[in-house]
Amino acid sequence: MLPQEELIQLAHTKMPFGKYEGRFLVDLPEFYLVWYRNKGFPKGKLGNQMQLVYELKLNGLEGLLRDIRHRFPRT
């Protein structure tokens, strides 16, 4: 289980590059995450976060991150 602060951070993380730059990771299209799953996620923290979002979407749990983002807004 991830610590609360890591989930809050994940809920607020945006894609830093590419076609979907600026979108929250949880709002990336599923086909895009599947493509990365097949190609290989980026190395490091971003790749780990993208992989977790992929798993959450795969299990229909992406709503949890959206709820967290709304309950714990960042300034």
pTM of the model: 0.90
Residue 74 has pLDDT above 90, yes or no: no
Q: How far is CA 22 from CA 12, 14, 17, in A?
A: 11, 5, 8
Supply the pLDDT for residue 1.
55
Determine contact, residues 13/69, Cβ cutoff 8 Å.
Answer: no
The average pLDDT across 33-47 equals 97
